[in-house]
A and B are shown apart, each in its own frame.
Chain A
């Protein structure tokens, strides 16, 4: 079954460093999302991306965050200068149209630890 692939599975970084999280979406999916889950909290929407541009973003997705599809396959989330509170699981997801309805397919996640 097609799957969303995320790398790295775990990254440890120092506060203030830049981090890039990578996602390979399912090939025929057109909508891409980043979500995050801080330990013990809910899954939070960060940003949605369609047709090479951001379609919606949350309050969390401030100027420190950016997304791009640099080579037409990978979908990346960059955090420019990480903060302690950025420590979380970051999930990439893509939309799978099933019978006209949208179902998010998630990757396994990238755990980011900011020290």
Chain B
């Protein structure tokens, strides 16, 4: 039962352009969403989060948008940099006891 879905396994973007990573979820009880970034042979690192009471959260080059009616969130990276190349995971939390992760999107930023 895949409650959090990332339908694009990979994405390539030119340096300086915008990267948009998408995530869909099925459980309307989820009230908190997170994005993690993962480099090979490392653990996921927290990037940015958003509560369901908001529709946008911004932190530097990273912005997360939440559309609750569509059960969809997206991560925008502007401008994209080669160091942003990593796997990005979307995660959702409904009750704090379990975080549900998507399958990840591998972002490649081309210099």
The residue on B at minimum CB distance from A96 is B46
State the total of A-B contacts with C-beta under 8 angstroms. 59
Q: How far is the CA of A107 from the CA of B98 in the complex (A)?
A: 17
Q: How many residues of A contact B (CB 8 A)?
A: 27
* Chain A binding surface SS class: strand
| Residues of A contacting B49 in the complex (Cβ-Cβ under 8 angstroms) | 101, 103
Tally of contact residues, B, Cβ under 8 A:
23
Chain A residue at minimum C-beta to C-beta distance from B31: A101
Minimum CB–CB distance from B100 to chain A (whole Å) comes to 7
- CB-based contact A43/B97 at 8 Å: no
At the interface, is chain B mostly helix, strand, loop or mixed?
strand
Partner of A43, one of B46, B89, B93: B89
Given A101-B51, A103-B49, are A43 and B32 neighbors across the interface (CB < 8 Å)? Answer: no
Chain B: residues with CB nearer than 8 A to chain A?
A: 32, 34, 36, 41-46, 49, 51, 89, 91, 93, 96-104
With beta carbons under 8 angstroms apart, the residue of B42, B51, B91 that contacts A104 is B91
List of 7 A-B pairs having minimum Cβ-Cβ separation, nearest first: A106-B43, A42-B103, A43-B101, A56-B97, A108-B43, A106-B44, A109-B43
Instruction: Indicate if A65 sits at the interface (CB-CB under 8 A).
Output: no
14 A-B pairs whose Cβ atoms sit less than 8 Å apart in the complex: A42-B104, A43-B44, A45-B101, A48-B98, A91-B43, A101-B49, A101-B51, A102-B96, A102-B99, A103-B34, A104-B36, A104-B91, A106-B36, A106-B44
